[in-house]
Amino acid sequence: MPTPADKKVFTVSELTRQIRQTLEDEIGRVWVEGEISNFKIYGSGHSYFVLKDAGAQLSAVLFAGTRSALSSALRLEDGQRVRAFGELTVFESRGQYQLKILRIEEAGVGELMQRFEELKRKLQAEGLFDAARKRPLPRLPQRIGIVTSPTGAVIHDMLTVLGRRFPNLQIRLAPVKVQGAGAAEEIAAAIARFNRTCGPASGWPADVLIVGRGGGSLEDLWAFNEEAVARAVAESAIPVISAVGHEVDFSLCDFAADLRAPTPSAAAELVVRPKAELEAEIAQGARRLRYALDRQVGELRARLTAAQASAFLRQPQRLIERRAQQVDALDMRLEHAAQALMQKRRRRAEEVFARLGLMRTRRLGQVGTRLALDVRRLSQACALRVERARSKLAVADPRLGQAGTVAVERAKARVSAVARQLALLNPLSVLDRGYSLTRTSDGRLVRTVADAVSGAELVTQVRDGMIASVVKKSGVPPVAL
C-alpha cells in the first residue's frame, strides 16, 4: 500500500478546488432540464433549489443579479419543470457541486404538480372543497386529537403552544408517518380511527382534530396530497384543522379541512384561545353583570322610596275621589259634546234637504221647458214629413193606377193559361166524355179485374155523381166496343 511519501497528499480545499476546476474546464456551461424542488429565496435575493428527475438531483443557485434580468412573467415554484443554462461548479465550503444558473425557462409542469392539479380538479368537482361543507370550530374545546409524527419539532411545538395557552386541555396523539411509502394510508387510517373511538358517543369525545407536519419539498409533503387523506379529512365527523408545511405550502388536505392553518404552531394557536384571555373576558362579563344588577337594584330602590313617600299610599281614598270627580267631569263634557254634535248634524241635514228641494224645483222646470221644446220640434218634423208623403203620393197615384191595370191584365192572362193546363191535367175531366172511375170501399182505384173480387163493394164515379155496386162475379171477359 502506497505511503504518503510516495503520493501527493491533498488538503480538502485543494482537492475540492481541483474538482471544481475539472468540472468547469471539462463540462463548463450546459443546458439541464428537470423539475424544481425545495425552492427558497433568501433575504439576499439569491434563489436556491434542486433540479431533479426520476433518477437523480442537482443543486442549483440563481443569484439575485441574474434573477432580476429574467422575464418577470416567469414565476419559479416547486413542481415546475424548467430548462436551465449555466456553469457547473462546486460550492467549496460544503464540497457540493451545483449549477450556477445564467438563464432559465419554463419546460412544463412537473409530474407531481400535474398529478396534484388533476386530483384537485376531480375532488373539487365532487364537492369535497365546497365552503358550505366547512364547519365552525368549537369555541372552547376540551379534547384535541393530533395526527402527526411522534418525533420532531412539530409535536413539541404544538404541545408547547397548547400548554401555554390552555393547560387544562386533554390531548391525544395518533402517531403516523408523515412522508414516504405508506404515510398516506397511515394518516387516513388515524383520522378514521379517531372518528370511531373518539366520536360524540365515546368515552373520550374529541372536539377537534389537527392533522399536519412541518415544512419540506413537494415530495416530502406528498402524503397529504393523496386522495385517501383528502377523503378521510372530508368525511370526518370531527372538525379538522390542516397544518401542513409552511404558509406558502398548500395541500389537498388543506382544501378538504374545515380550517387551514399556515403552520402547525399556528394551528395550536387557532384551536383554542388563551386561558388567561378567557378568564379576563369572564371577569369583565362578571363586572358588567354586577354593575347592571347594582344599577337595577338602585333604580328599584329609588322607585320604592318615591312610592312610599307618595300621597297615594298614605291617603289612597283622596286620590280615588279625585279620579272619580275627573271621570264625572269628562262624562259631562262628553254628553255636551254629543248634543252639540247632534244639533250641528241636524242643521246640516235641514240645509241639505232645503237645497235638494230647490234644486229639484229648478230641475223640473228645466225638464218641462226642454220637453215642451222637444214636442214642438217633433210636431213640426211630423207635419213636414206628412206633407212630403202627400206630395209624393199625388205624383205617384196616376202612375200607380196605370201600373195596376197592366199588372191585373197580365195576372188574368197567366191565371187563364194555368187554368187551361189544370183542366187538361185534371183526371175528372174525362168524366165529361163518358168515362167513369171505380174504387173499392177503402178508396183504392180499380185498375184490373183482380182488384174487384166477388162480393166486394165498389163505388163508381160518373160526371154527375156516384153509383154504388156489389161484384157478383169477377173475371168476365170485356165487352167489345
The string of DSSP letters for 80-113 reads EEEEEEEEEEEETTTTEEEEEEEEEEEEEE-HHH
The percent of residues above 70 in pLDDT, for the chain, comes to 87
User: Pick the residue with more confidence: 158 or 68?
Assistant: 158
Alpha helices in 145-243 (DSSP H): 153-165, 183-197, 227-235
Looking at the predicted structure, is the pLDDT value of residue 30 above 70?
A: yes
The percent of residues above 90 in pLDDT, for the chain, comes to 30
pLDDT, residue 313, reads: 64
Give the class (CATH, top level) of 12-109. Answer: mainly beta
Looking at the predicted structure, is the pLDDT value of residue 227 above 80?
A: yes
pLDDT, residue 311, reads: 65
The two beta strands, 29-41 and 80-91, are antiparallel
Q: Give the CA distances from residue 337 to residues 349, 369, 411, in Å, rounded to whole numbers and listed in that order.
A: 18, 48, 97
User: What is the C-alpha separation between 238 and 149, in angstroms, rounded?
Assistant: 20
User: Pick the residue with more confidence: 217 or 86?
Assistant: 86
pLDDT, residue 161, reads: 93
**Among 180-189, 285-294, 467-476, the least confident range:** 467-476
* Per-chain mean pLDDT for the chain: 83
| Residue type (1 letter), 206 | A
Cβ neighbourhood burial of 24 (10 Å; 0-12, 13-18, 19+)? middle
In tens, the pLDDT along 276-294 reads 888 888 889 999 999 999 9
With cut-offs at 50, 70 and 90, classify the pLDDT of residue 481.
Answer: very low
Residue reference for cell 191584365: 409
In tens, the pLDDT along 115-133 reads 888 999 999 999 999 999 9
pLDDT, residue 394, reads: 67
The CATH 2.40.50.140 portion of the chain extends over 12-109
User: Pick the residue with more confidence: 192 or 15?
Assistant: 192
Q: Which pairs from 72-75 meet CB under 8 Å and 24+ separation?
A: 74/104, 74/105, 74/106
Looking at the predicted structure, is the pLDDT value of residue 429 above 90?
A: no
With cut-offs at 50, 70 and 90, classify the pLDDT of residue 203.
Answer: confident
User: Pick the residue with more confidence: 236 or 21?
Assistant: 236
With cut-offs at 50, 70 and 90, classify the pLDDT of residue 261.
Answer: very high
Alpha helices in 251-315 (DSSP H): 252-256, 264-271, 275-309, 311-314
∠ Cα 97 100 105 (to 5°): 125
User: 116-276: which CATH topology?
Assistant: Rossmann fold (3.40.50)
Find out whether 32 and 99 touch, Cβ atoms under 8 Å: yes
Find out whether 90 and 60 touch, Cβ atoms under 8 Å: no
pLDDT, residue 407, reads: 73
Residue reference for cell 192572362: 413
User: What is the C-alpha separation between 252 and 240, in angstroms, rounded?
Assistant: 13
Looking at the predicted structure, is the pLDDT value of residue 372 above 60?
A: yes
User: What is the C-alpha separation between 436 and 466, in angstroms, rounded?
Assistant: 9
Give which of 266, 223, 260, 249 is closest to 40, Cα–Cα: 249
With cut-offs at 50, 70 and 90, classify the pLDDT of residue 53.
Answer: confident
Q: Give the CA distances from residue 144 to residues 37, 136, 299, in Å, rounded to whole numbers and listed in that order.
A: 34, 15, 47
Looking at the predicted structure, is the pLDDT value of residue 73 above 60?
A: no
With cut-offs at 50, 70 and 90, classify the pLDDT of residue 22.
Answer: confident
pLDDT, residue 357, reads: 76
pLDDT, residue 71, reads: 61
> What is the average per-residue pLDDT within 58-68?
85
Q: Give the CA distances from residue 153 to residues 148, 181, 213, 215, 270, in Å, rounded to whole numbers and listed in that order.
A: 11, 21, 9, 11, 18
Looking at the predicted structure, is the pLDDT value of residue 379 above 90?
A: no
Which residues, 6+ apart, have CB-to-CB distance to 239 below 8 Å? Answer: 135, 136, 137, 138, 207, 208, 209, 258, 259
Find out whether 175 and 183 touch, Cβ atoms under 8 Å: no
Looking at the predicted structure, is the pLDDT value of residue 171 above 90?
A: yes
**Among 18-22, 97-101, 207-211, the least confident range:** 18-22
In tens, the pLDDT along 299-318 reads 998 888 887 777 666 666 76
The CATH 3.40.50.261 portion of the chain extends over 116-276
User: Pick the residue with more confidence: 102 or 322?
Assistant: 102
**Among 1-5, 135-139, 346-350, the least confident range:** 1-5
The two beta strands, 96-109 and 80-91, are antiparallel
pLDDT, residue 315, reads: 67
In tens, the pLDDT along 385-415 reads 867 877 776 666 667 667 667 777 777 778 7
